[in-house]
Amino acid sequence: MKIRNIAIIAHVDHGKTTLVDELLKQSGTYRENQKVAERVMDSNELEKERGITILAKATSIVWKDTHINIVDTPGHADFGGEVERILNMVDGAIVLVDAAEGPMPQTKFVVGKALKVGLRPIVAINKVDRHDARAQDVVNEVFDLFAALDATEDQLDFPILYGSGRNGWMAHSPEGPDTDGMKPLLDLVLQHVPEPHVEEGPFRMIGTILEANPFLGRIITGRISSGTIKPNQTIKVLHHDGTVLETGRISKILAFRGLERQPIDLGEAGDIVAIAGLQKGTVADTFCDLSVTEPMHAQPIDPPTVTMSFLVNDSPLAGTEGDKVTSRVIRDRLLKEAEGNVALKIEESVDKDSFYVSGRGELQLAVLIETMRREGFELAVSRPRVVMQKDEATGETLEPIEEVVIDVDEEFSGVVVQKMSERKADMVEMRPSGGNRLRLIFYAPTRGLIGYQSELLTDTRGTAIMNRLFHEYAPHKGEIAGRRNGVLISNDAGESVAYAMWKLEDRGPMMIEPGTKVYRGMIIGEHTRENDLEINVLKGKQLTNIRAAGKDEAVKLTPPIRMTLDRALAWIQDDELMEVTPKSIRLRKSMLDPNERKRIAKTGY
């Protein structure tokens, strides 16, 4: 059977997963009456909740006797590591661009990587049925983007389709016709995407996606570059430096057939397959025949820009809600995550009680923490810090700078520019983007952007859209003012009392409800002033046998601030930690003892 391998790449929310749904539907992968979930490729629980793709996944369809393997990729820059590795597996890419928003930062990032690998993309302008669609302008913007990314003559001569993924049609003109469904796109894939490049020689394959299966163990997915493979064949795994990691027997070979993976008796060069049976081989390693001595070259991955400390939870409430609390199980879980996620880097501290986890952004780390918490882990995490570099020539400290694109209503542009300049950002472009909206483009230090998302939404009444992408390392921009308010800290352990909280309401908004378990050093609210304040929320009303002449005041409390995981990560300061358990998110001072905190404030250690 003839084979084509393609990836669908685009910015977040431009409709990749919805398009895959339609391709599966119209190629006859489903039965007529089969009930299928929306965005079927987002199978992970967190992906369904957040409405985003986190992990790259493969599926396949059959069209006109050709087997088309499709890889759906994440759109968030934080998960860019997933996109960088899967480009090794495919021979073509569909670049999906929103007909109203045009090319966005992540589009630029993934297209740049695809062009560098030598792929000839197909451009699909999606959502042309939007009321603010401007398909022709967007095509010109895409051409300018390709030119700016040094595309070759062949790559600049890209075919263009217009359509609506949700309504299930693509055509050669924005006006339609919409009666052919996805046929024009599938036909174009067969014409434009070359057949897989097959090399001569014995079996070789680079591992691209790693997953664990309860029945088959470790499963590695990749594209076979040369040769064939059969079940029970003995192969070896080469590290990128040429050392042999292991030799083992393949227990099963699975190929993508629609949404299901089916066992096959022979994996041939050019096809994307998953193999099971090996214990150590991971992403970017070369899986090959015993006669092969040279590892294959894997694409380099951009370095992480944000790091956090993961610590063993040592609060007085530790171990009451989760069952995985020791440093050993946390270490094993983090190392397992780093195996399959090449954009993550894990380092152990000297005392072995904490781990430095580095990634592409807060969102990637927040998703890891949320996943661990759902698995029953308890841990404490610090505020995200940026990964600095030293300029070897001058000895100067360099920090990561991001390109930030903010789409905002004109009336709110002033406050956005002001807040971004406070965060040491430089504006490089301001232009109208239609419908009384402006597109502002800044180069801003990553340090200043930590926690800005929620503030931006508050300032613009939820109407602004911010997109970020790593730009470069540049000289340190100096101090950036952090949170301006202090915190309210509990001075004792017990359960909070409504009467005490009611009396303390003028000190600042609370983050807990009556009856919440608190401990000494736990943050229970935000102070209205700049300093931290210790308060007692356990003190009940003094009861006497003398009745009050007036009726007792009914205690009415202001609803507390709800701290989500993402918001708490951005809100805490360097001397504070977030305690994460399967049931709760608590904030605390890293030093629970007030005398210790005073001593450190005075002496600095």
d(CA 203, CA 290): 9
- Is 14 marked as a binding-site residue? yes
Secondary structure (DSSP) of 362-381: HHHHHHHHHHHHHTTB-EEE
The reply to whether 247 sits in an annotated binding site is: no
CB-CB neighbours of 206 under 10 Å: 24
| Beta-strand pair 234-238/244-249 | antiparallel
* Tokens coding 417: 């520019």
Tell how far CA 296 is from the center of its chain: 28
CA distance 288 to 229: 9
Please answer whether residues 305 and 446 qualify as being in contact, where contact means their C-beta atoms are separated by less than 8 angstroms. yes
Contact of 17 with 170, CB cutoff 8 Å: no
Burial class (CB in 10 A: 0-12, 13-18, 19+), 347: exposed
Is 129 annotated for ligand binding?
A: yes
- The dihedral through the CA atoms of 190, 193, 195, 196 has a sign that is negative
User: Pairing relation of β-strands 379-382 and 306-311?
Assistant: antiparallel
Exposure of 442 in the CB half-sphere (CA atoms within 13 A): 25
126 is in an annotated binding site: yes
On whether 18 is known to bind a ligand per the annotation, the reply is: yes
Residue type, position 40, single letter = V
What stretches of 56-124 show up as alpha helix (H) in DSSP?
A: 80-86, 105-117
The response to whether 69 counts as a known ligand-binding position is no
Residue 341 · residue 282 · CB < 8 Å: no
- In order, the DSSP letters of 483-523 are --S-EEEE-S-EE--HHHHHHTGGG--BSS-TT-EE-TTEE
- How wide is the angle at C-alpha 142 spanned by C-alphas 141 and 143, nearest 5°? 90
- Largest interatomic CA distance in the chain: 97
- Binding site annotation covers 13? yes
Residue with tokens 């924005």: 174
72 neighbors 53 (Cβ within 8 angstroms): yes
Which residues are annotated binding-site positions?
Answer: 13-18, 126-129
Which residues are annotated binding-site positions for GTP?
Answer: 13-18, 126-129
